[in-house]
Structure 1
Amino acid sequence: MNFNRTNNGTIRPPPSNRNRSNESDFRPGRDNDTNFERDPIDQSPEVILYLLTTLVIPSIICFIFLFYNFIHLPHLRSKSTSLFIISLLIINFIHILTDLPFRLYYLSQNQVPFLYPIFCLIWTWYDNILTAINLFIMAFTSIDRYIFIFHHVFHRRYKRLLYRIPMVICFLFATIWYTVLIFGYPCQNSFIYFSFQCGTLCYLKNSQVLTHFENAIFFMFPLSIIVIGNIILIIHVFIQKRQMKCRHQLGLWRQNFRMISQLMFIAILYMSICVPSCILLIMGSYARNNRFQSWAANVRIRYFTHLKYLVVFGYPFMVLVGQKELLQMIKRCFYSFGRQLWRTRWKNQIIPMTIVPPMKHGSTLM
């Protein structure tokens, strides 16, 4: 997905005297193979590196905790509303394992870890696919939650189709698109190893149509569904509350509200990063003021290219907030640990004592 790039590309276009590499030549170190000149616009600040390294450990712990409980508690994963949630959990965890180590290396060393064009292509390929699938599944999750709450009979009847068809569309569409364009588009890539993911791919430089189509379909379209779908869901739920009068109906409304609360936390997490990134993408691609356009592209490249990991890191915690049973389990563990710690501390506490010598026979205190 074109989440990481603007119409201007990840870096400024190289001058005409820079050498360009042939996509079919996968050997590093040759004069016509790559460009080793550093572009300051593509360097992210160190605070991004510190932020990602600080958040990755708590996030992985939360991922493992959720996976363990979803595996050992079948009733949690058997819920029809949990299918898309678990799918997003798996996609985000795979993204951390396969992309984050290379990203952290680049942020610390200011160059890609392996100076091979084939590595640059594969890294860009699966990063874009995972990011696109992530947004598409989140968009389908918003639609699925609306159907489940307000068209429950239809959802129960076609539950498997409502899950399988969107998943097939997400995986096939993104995989075919990026496989064909990254490995099959007839152009020559210029690999710049000091730029993130070796710079912008040639099909994005050569075709404005493909660039705009990719931005619209793989980023703006699913993001619009997430924003509009969740707004409609909230409005519809509160309209439903006004129409309900008896206690039984209000109980049903509270149940529906609890069901959308988890989705709201996740949607807000996605929108907090993706919406500003989308605004900067539009400004950097279509603004008439060149100075303003350059600023928007610079901010998006240096910050939001990597800040998308705040969504990945925060996602398991948003899922955990919506799992009441797991939250109670954590509370019991903390309560038991606190009691055990207090008992141990009480036993080991030293209480000063005043020793009174024994009194002799016949003696008195006065």
Structure 2
Amino acid sequence: ALLFVSFIALITELPITLQYLSSGHVKPADERFCLFWIWYNYSLKAIDLFLMAWTSIERHILIFHSYLVSTSIGKLKWHYIPLVICFIYIPLFYFLCVIIYPCENNFDYSSHLCHSICFHKITWLSIFDWITNILLPSLIIEIGSVTLLIRILIQFKKMKRTIKWRATRKMALQLISIASLYSIFWISFTLISIIRLFFIPKFLDKLTLYYFHYSPYFVQLLMPCICLFCLPELWTRKNRVVPTQ
């Protein structure tokens, strides 16, 4: 699911951003397009974060409580239902905030994402958005990854070099590698955004404008590379396609 969302973002939303960066203007310069772009951008990024947050939790279940997903009902409850909730809640939330919420937008077509959306001016709604859709999943990713590593190290002596340990190590490596990618780009973006939102509006203004604002894109760009790194069997010679003479 993470790869799928990253792929969709790279082939659909990223080209819009690249077009803006190349021309310096939003095209088409239309209010409806801005509303769609903001909704689509926010939805994709939040879905990506939520999926990674749930993956951080799900790895604990798969490694230490695998009996919970040993049945069809268990898989439905602990795997598919959270994914469905993620794909429904986030687009619906931003649809209500961006498209439906009754406030006046003042778009700037020379700014990325048309500069702003009016629901950000509603303090309680903006705070709820940041805490629920950005800060909370970011913290879950960090806490879930760190606690998983600690639990695995504690169990290391008990499991030793068994087959179960090798499988556990592989799943842990996958999670920690991907979580590190999210931490590098999302945590810094989140912390700076919170400082700007609640304390110092102009904090690291230029750095935010030219770097941190676009840092989440690097997660989606690097995700396939991290996944390949975590799946070395894809690189073995027997799985390579050798062209015929």
What is the rounded CA distance, in whole Å, between the counterparts of 1:175 and 1:164 in structure 2?
A: 17
Greater share of residues in helix: 2
What is the rounded CA distance, in whole Å, between the counterparts of 2:123 and 2:193 in structure 1?
A: 14
Q: 2:55 corresponds to which residue?
A: 141
Of the three residues 214, 219, 222, the one matched with 1:306 is 214
Q: 1:268 corresponds to which residue?
A: 180
Of the three residues 133, 139, 158, the one matched with 1:224 is 139
Q: CA deviation at 1:113?
A: 1.6
Q: 1:181 corresponds to which residue?
A: 97
What is the rounded CA distance, in whole Å, between the counterparts of 2:105 and 2:63 in structure 1?
A: 48
Q: What percentage of residue pairs aligned between the two structures are identical?
A: 35
Contact 2:3-2:223 at 8 Å conserved across structures: yes
- Where do 4+ consecutive residues of structure 1 move more than 4 Å? 329-333
What is the rounded CA distance, in whole Å, between the counterparts of 1:329 and 1:120 in structure 2?
A: 48
- Residue segments in structure 2 that go unaligned for 5+ positions in a row: none
Tell whether 2:152 aligns with 1:237.
Answer: yes
What is the rounded CA distance, in whole Å, between the counterparts of 2:100 and 2:2 in structure 1?
A: 29
Q: 1:7 corresponds to which residue?
A: none
Cα distance, 1:221–1:330 mapped onto 2, change above 3 Å: farther
What is the rounded CA distance, in whole Å, between the counterparts of 1:244 and 1:260 in structure 2?
A: 14
Structure number with higher relative contact order (C-alpha < 8 Å, ≥ 6 residues apart)? 1
TM-score under structure 2 length normalisation: 0.92
SS class of match (1:295):
coil
Q: CA deviation at 1:331?
A: 8.0
Q: 1:321 corresponds to which residue?
A: 229
Contact 1:137-1:167 at 8 Å conserved across structures: yes
Contact 1:281-1:296 at 8 Å conserved across structures: no
Q: 1:20 corresponds to which residue?
A: none
Tell whether 2:82 aligns with 1:166.
Answer: yes
Of the three residues 120, 125, 142, the one matched with 1:204 is 120
Q: CA deviation at 1:187?
A: 1.2
Q: CA deviation at 1:323?
A: 2.0
Cα RMSD (Å) of the superposition?
1.9
SS class of match (2:167):
helix
SS class of match (1:145):
helix
Q: CA deviation at 1:300?
A: 2.3
Q: CA deviation at 1:173?
A: 1.1
Cα distance, 1:295–1:262 mapped onto 2, change above 3 Å: same
Q: 2:42 corresponds to which residue?
A: 128
- Residue segments in structure 1 that go unaligned for 5+ positions in a row: 1-86, 341-366
Q: CA deviation at 1:235?
A: 0.3
What is the rounded CA distance, in whole Å, between the counterparts of 1:277 and 1:222 in structure 2?
A: 13
Q: Deviations over 1:259-311 (max 9, x none)?
A: 21111111111111011111211221233xx5xx4133442233122121110
Greater gyration radius: 1
Q: CA deviation at 1:217?
A: 0.5
